[in-house]
């Protein structure tokens, strides 16, 4: 069996949800579990986060999986209905839809099949991805309200483009545009993603939508989840499977990009981009060998990485090597690989063994 293992810390997930509630008192929490729970496992995360008020998924297929797993909370399909059969399936599974364009409103208008669906009306206040222009809010809201296929409790939502920069004027502007467009409308409001839960308390509304924070990951530049009281929910580890003595001037790995500056020990760990360890992790990216820091050297290959063991003289074959998680923030690894922590946890592949841990 390959040694690569993603340990999912269930209690960290639960504590992170408590921390979100502490930061956004009075708001209900939608736990965003798209992309297989940011790579932690959809059903597993939903079970650990059974205290959430709703789950946010990217597509209907994830809603099907959650209902099959017995999840009874509200489930919001964040990109909404799209194809002809979607509304019937969403009704069957009691999934909420997000409406962000006219074709979706037309589909709801043409739908006469029975029980009303719950709708989240999405406004584009400045991100320019999904949503109606703010000046159309009242017209679309009124049209939806009049449809028998739409439940009367419509939630008004928007998404921030840059809320991880805590003093960015764009977020202030997005909040103002949102408040102006929805004022006087009778509906709950949802604006905040993780970064806004942390940095924009005035935007918490009735529903916050927490993703990264629940997994203990920060998107705020230079910060890690722990800086805000969150614990990592995934520890990715493997084993050291070889230690080689390499002479000064010899080079290591594909494309021979790294040259030994002295006679030294080079470790080989059983993980690579085939497991989701980023190929772009540069020489100098840290790992922990039995708790002691060592650095990746040379190119990351599909199944293996090579390590500078000069700082870990006691390292032995069979030692556990932690790639990220407890003791080694995924944000640090992401910074060395030119990406964000989210992409790394989402990218752990199927050949990695997932193990649940209560702590």
Ligand X SMILES: *Cc1c(COP(=O)(O)O)cnc(C)c1O
Q: Which residues contact 246 (CB under 8 A, 6 or more apart)?
A: 252, 260, 263, 264, 265, 266
Q: Which of 210, 328, 330, 333 binds ligand X (CB under 6 A)?
A: 210
Three-class secondary structure of residue 195 per DSSP? helix
Q: Which of 8, 12, 31, 78 binds ligand X (CB under 6 A)?
A: 78
Q: Which residues contact 200 (CB under 8 A, 6 or more apart)?
A: 160, 163, 166, 171, 175, 191, 192
User: Minimum Å distance from CB 95 to ligand X?
Assistant: 15
Our CB check for ligand X shows the closer of 225 and 278 to be 225
Would residue 122 show up in a list of annotated catalytic residues for this protein? no
Our CB check for ligand X shows the closer of 159 and 177 to be 159
On the CB side of 309, how many CA atoms lie within 13 Å of its CA? Answer: 24
Three-class secondary structure of residue 276 per DSSP? coil
305-308 vs 258-259, strand pairing mode: unpaired
Q: Which of 21, 44, 118, 159 binds ligand X (CB under 6 A)?
A: 159
**What is the C-alpha separation between 320 and 102, in angstroms, rounded?**
54
User: Minimum Å distance from CB 35 to ligand X?
Assistant: 8
User: Minimum Å distance from CB 162 to ligand X?
Assistant: 11
Q: Give the x-and-dash track for 95-134 against ligand X (CB under 6 A).
A: ----------------------------------------
**What is the C-alpha separation between 269 and 317, in angstroms, rounded?**
9
Contact flag: residue 5 with ligand X (CB under 6 A): no
Span near ligand X by CB under 6 A; candidates 2-10, 191-199, 228-236, 239-247: 191-199
User: Minimum Å distance from CB 32 to ligand X?
Assistant: 4
Would residue 254 show up in a list of annotated catalytic residues for this protein? yes
189-190 vs 155-158, strand pairing mode: parallel
Q: Give the x-and-dash track for 34-73 against ligand X (CB under 6 A).
A: x---------------------------------------
Distances (CA, A) of 38 to 141, 155, 201, 206, 212: 32, 25, 24, 24, 8
**Are 77 and 98 contacting, i.e. CB atoms less than 8 angstroms apart?**
yes
Distances (CA, A) of 17 to 77, 140, 160, 282, 317: 20, 33, 21, 33, 38
**What is the C-alpha separation between 137 and 82, in angstroms, rounded?**
20
**What is the C-alpha separation between 46 and 246, in angstroms, rounded?**
47
Our CB check for ligand X shows the closer of 107 and 210 to be 210
Span near ligand X by CB under 6 A; candidates 205-213, 228-236, 245-253, 274-282: 205-213
**Are 202 and 186 contacting, i.e. CB atoms less than 8 angstroms apart?**
no
Span near ligand X by CB under 6 A; candidates 40-48, 204-212, 221-229, 327-335: 204-212
Our CB check for ligand X shows the closer of 267 and 341 to be 341
Q: Which of 212, 216, 276, 341 binds ligand X (CB under 6 A)?
A: 212
Span near ligand X by CB under 6 A; candidates 3-11, 89-97, 181-189, 207-215: 207-215
Binding stretches for ligand X (CB under 6 A): 32, 34, 78, 159, 193-195, 209-212, 219
The catalytic residue positions are 34, 254
């Amino acid at each position: 069996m390959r040694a690569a293992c993603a340990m999912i810390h269930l209690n960290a997930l639960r504590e992170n949800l408590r921390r979100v509630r502490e930061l956004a008192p009075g708001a209900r929490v939608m736990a965003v579990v798209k992309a297989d729970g940011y790579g932690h496992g959809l059903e597993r995360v939903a079970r650990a986060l059974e205290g959430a008020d709703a789950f946010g998924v990217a597509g209907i297929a994830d809603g099907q999986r959650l209902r099959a797993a017995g999840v009874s909370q509200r489930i919001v399909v964040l990109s909404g209905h799209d194809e002809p059969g979607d509304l019937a399936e969403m009704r069957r599974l009691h999934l909420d839809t997000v409406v962000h364009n006219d074709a979706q409103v037309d589909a709801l208008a043409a739908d006469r099949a029975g029980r009303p669906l719950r709708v989240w009306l999405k406004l584009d206040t400045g991100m320019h991805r999904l949503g109606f222009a703010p000046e159309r809010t009242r017209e679309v809201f009124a049209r939806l309200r009049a449809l028998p296929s739409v439940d009367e409790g419509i939630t008004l939502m928007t998404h921030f483009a840059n809320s991880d920069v805590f003093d960015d004027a764009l977020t202030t502007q997005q909040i103002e545009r949102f408040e102006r467009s929805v004022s006087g409308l009778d509906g709950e409001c949802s604006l905040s993603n993780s970064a806004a839960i942390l940095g924009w308390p005035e935007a918490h509304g009735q529903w916050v939508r927490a993703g990264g924070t629940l997994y203990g990951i920060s998107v705020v530049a230079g910060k890690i989840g722990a800086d805000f009281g969150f614990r990592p929910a995934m520890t990715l580890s493997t084993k050291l499977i070889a230690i080689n003595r390499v002479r000064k001037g010899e080079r290591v790995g594909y494309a021979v990009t790294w040259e030994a500056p002295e006679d030294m020990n080079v470790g080989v760990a059983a993980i690579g981009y085939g497991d989701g360890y980023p190929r772009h992790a540069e020489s100098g990216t840290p790992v922990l060998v039995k708790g002691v820091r060592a650095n990746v050297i040379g190119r990351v290959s599909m199944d293996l990485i090579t390590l500078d063991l000069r700082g870990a003289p006691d390292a032995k074959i069979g030692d556990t090597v932690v790639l990220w998680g407890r003791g080694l923030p995924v944000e640090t690894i992401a910074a060395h690989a030119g990406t964000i922590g989210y992409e790394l946890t989402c990218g752990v592949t199927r050949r990695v063994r997932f193990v649940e841990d209560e702590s």
